[in-house]
A and B are shown apart, each in its own frame.
Chain A
Amino acid sequence: MINITNIHKIFNPGKPNQVNAVNGIDLKINTGEFLVIVGSNGSGKTTLLDMVAGSVFPTSGTIAIDDENVTKLHDYQRSKWIARVFQNPMSGTASDLSILDNFRLAAIRTRAKGLGIGVNEVFKNQVKEKISTLGLGLENKVDQQMGTLSGGQRQALTLLMSVMDSCKVLLLDEPTAALDPRSADVVMRTADELIKDYRLTAILITHNLKDAFTYGNRIILMGEGHIRKDLDTKNKQNLKQSDLFDWFS
């Protein structure tokens, strides 16, 4: 469970370019819940996600994961619980490294990176087997550099990488924003399956209202650093896609 209490984020405080990005948000996300966050640009969605990930520290307020206060932990320390898929496919993978090396790092996300060689035939076969579940034909390209793949292929692999090691929370920051519709569909379906299969607590930020309507069991609308609307599973079921459009009008 993620517990966000009275969280604020002010960028450049006291300066002419001060921005109050998040203004006192209280949010509880239960274990296994798939929360979708929508909102116009500058509404504070990404800042909120960055604060959960630990790449941005809040100005005030607390964040707890499974009752452990993680507010002052850095992103690399929170990787014990959190896996993340970035908006830019280039950010979530190392392009000069092979697919296999990328998966090796993901497989030891919660462990120390020691002086042993972990990429061996056994590991290679495990990765191939895992990648074959995507049905993208990438299992025979594991020695290839990640940079040779398309954005959609990279995002799909990043999703698989997130469950290579134990993970409780999956953060999806507009994962399909840079993808064509077909790749975007593969990525979102893969994400949905993994979230259900591994019973992950997930947060998805998206501008795609179709995805916001189709996926997740809870939806919130953010505006000017506040939560404007919060629909739980029952209320989301009664929501029509056209209602979502009305939220932005």
Chain B
Amino acid sequence: MDFYLTALLQGLCFSALALGIFISMKIFNIPDITTDGSYTLGGVVTAVMITHHQPAYIILPAVIVAGGLAGALTGIIHTKLKINALLAGILVMTAMYSVNLSIMGTSNLPLNSLPSLFSLLQISADANHNAFFIVATFVLVIVVLISYLLKTDFGIAMRATGNSESMIRALGVNTDRMKITGLALANALTAVSGYLISQYQGFTDISMGIGIVIIGLGSVIIAETLINWFKITSVWLSLGLVLTGAIIFQLVLALTLDVGVDANLLKLVTAAFVLIIVSLPRLKFGRTR
């Protein structure tokens, strides 16, 4: 059972990343690959600051700013230099590997026995239960904040930017600035996932972000399938489903390992699972036509 609780916890940790992908991919229509770099950056900043005994209240803002800067850089390259968004993301992601390695100074930094978010509060004697309450509260706060943001005038303008650029420009919005802000926000959220995972697993590794974008994509696609299925238009519910998507994704992977699939094949299973989710609605469409 602890195995599935761990998967649930990982799902909650990855929900910030999923929200980031939701913002870049579904709201702005931008395929952002910066994710792999900004996720690791979140973990790297966390690890370096924890090992330098920085107070907890500084670490999270530092992670958010670092992730935001990575996203903003992709946004600037895309909008100001008119480079394709996918390529801009790949360039920043590639550069981030060296940046992360330089900041960390080593390829792996253990955090065991150092104070972390999970040692700050002791709600339950069981470490996993304690972590669950902390991460669940943390993620709930993020969802409420992002939901609120998307309901504001600024948030409506953000949503319109990915929907009809000509319209929103005619309504007085600088879409370049909006895309840069959106990508900064998306990658700040991604970095927060790196922050949570690093502290939960007790180390930061330079390669922890490789292929991580697929987890976010899978989570968002699960959410999108549910959104279309239930014809949901509410922003609050949509974000709740993104969170649910992240959890379902991790639980499916846990189930895969539980039934005895070789751990070496996990990435293959992940890719296959995302392929199935993506293709299911299309197959159904094909039959009805």
Within 8 A of B (CB), among A99-138: 101-102, 104-106, 108-111, 113-119
Task: Please state if B159 and A96 are interface contacts (CB–CB under 8 Å).
Answer: yes
User: Contacts of A111 on B, CB cut-off 8 Å?
Assistant: 172
Q: Which residues of A contact B172 (CB under 8 A)?
A: 76-77, 79-80, 108-111, 113
Asked whether any CB of chain A lies closer than 8 Å to the CB of B228, the reply is: no
B164 engages A94 (CB within 8 Å): yes
A32 to B154: give the CA distance in the assembly, Å. Answer: 33
Q: Do residues B171 and A79 form an inter-chain contact, with CB atoms below 8 A?
A: yes
User: Which segment, of B35-43, B78-86, B115-123, B145-153, faces chain A?
Assistant: B145-153
* CA–CA, A96 and B170, complex, Å: 17
Contacts of A116 in B (CB 8 A): 152-153
Known: A74-B174, A76-B173. A114 touches B159 (CB 8 A): no
B233 interface hit (Cβ, 8 Å): yes
Docked CA distance A79–B153 (Å): 17
| B151 contacts across to A, CB distance below 8 A | 117, 119
Assembled-state Cα–Cα distance A63/B167 (Å): 22
Determine whether A45 belongs to the interface, using a CB cutoff of 8 Å to chain B. no
Q: DSSP majority for the B interface?
A: helix
Contact between chains at B152 and A106 (CB < 8 Å): no
Q: Tell me the complex Cα distance, A90–B148, Å.
A: 27
Considering the chains assembled together, what is the distance between the CA atoms of A86 and B233 in angstroms? 26
**A84 is an interface residue with CB less than 8 A from chain B:** yes
From A88, which residue of chain B is reached at the shortest CB distance?
B166
Asked if residues B233 and A118 are in contact (CB atoms below 8 Å), the reply is no
Q: How many residues of A contact B (CB 8 A)?
A: 39
- B151 CB to nearest A CB, Å: 5
Verify B160–A97 contact, CB threshold 8 A. Answer: yes
Q: Name the residue on B nearest A145 (C-beta).
A: B233
Closest to A108 in B: B153
A94→B153 contact, CB < 8 A: no
Q: Say if the beta carbon of B156 comes within 8 Å of chain A.
A: yes
8 Å CB contacts to A: which residues of B190-223? none
- Interface residue A174 (Cβ < 8 Å from any Cβ of B): no
Across the interface, A94 reaches (CB within 8 A) one of B148, B149, B160, namely B160
Q: Given that A98-B233, A101-B156 are known contacts, is A90 also in contact with B164, CB under 8 Å in the complex?
A: yes
Q: Cβ of A75: which chain B residues have Cβ within 8 Å of it?
A: 169-170
A95 touches B170 (CB 8 A): no
Considering the chains assembled together, what is the distance between the CA atoms of A52 and B174 in angstroms? 18
Query: B159: which A residues are within 8 A, CB to CB?
Result: 94, 96-97, 101
Distance between Cα atoms of A113 and B153 in the complex (Å): 5
A56–B234 CA distance with the chains assembled, in angstroms: 36
Q: Max chain B CB contacts within 10 Å: which of A76, A97, A110?
A: A76
When distances are taken between beta carbons in the complex, the residues of chain B under 8 Å from A53 are 170
CB of B157 within 8 A of chain A? Answer: yes
- Take A79-B170, A84-B170 as given contacts and tell me if A105 and B157 are in contact as well, using a CB distance cutoff of 8 Å: yes
Complex contacts, A74 vs chain B, CB 8 Å: 169, 174
Q: With a CB–CB cut-off of 8 A, which chain B residues contact A91?
A: 164, 166-167
Which residue in chain A gives the minimum CB-CB distance to B175? A76
Which residues of A are found within 8 Å of B101, using beta-carbon distances?
none
Q: In whole angstroms, what is the CA distance A73 to B200 when docked?
A: 50
Does A93 belong to the interface (CB within 8 Å)?
yes
Closest to B156 in A: A101
| A92 beta carbon closer than 8 Å to chain B | yes
With contact pairs A113-B156, A115-B152, A118-B153 given, residues A105 and B164 touching in the complex (Cβ less than 8 Å) = no
Taking each of A53, A83, A105, which has the highest tally of chain B beta carbons within 10 Å of its own beta carbon? Answer: A105
How far apart are the CA atoms of A110 and B170 in the complex, in Å? Answer: 10
Contact of B156 among A76, A82, A105, A110 (CB under 8 A): A105
Taking CB atoms, residues of chain A closer than 8 Å to B160 are 94, 97, 101-102, 105
Complex-state Cα separation, A101 to B163, whole angstroms: 12
Beyond contacts A116-B152, A116-B153: 17 other A-B pairs, Cβ-Cβ < 8 A, are A53-B170, A76-B172, A79-B171, A83-B170, A90-B164, A92-B164, A94-B168, A97-B159, A97-B160, A102-B160, A104-B153, A105-B157, A110-B172, A113-B154, A113-B173, A114-B153, A117-B148
A-B contact pairs, 20 of them (CB 8 A): A55-B166, A79-B171, A79-B172, A82-B170, A92-B167, A94-B160, A94-B168, A96-B159, A97-B156, A101-B159, A104-B156, A105-B160, A114-B152, A114-B153, A115-B153, A116-B153, A117-B148, A117-B151, A117-B153, A145-B233
Q: Give the interface of B toward A (CB within 8 A).
A: 148-149, 151-154, 156-157, 159-160, 163-164, 166-175, 233
Q: Which 7 A-B pairs have the closest CB atoms?
A: A79-B172, A94-B163, A94-B160, A113-B157, A113-B153, A94-B164, A91-B166
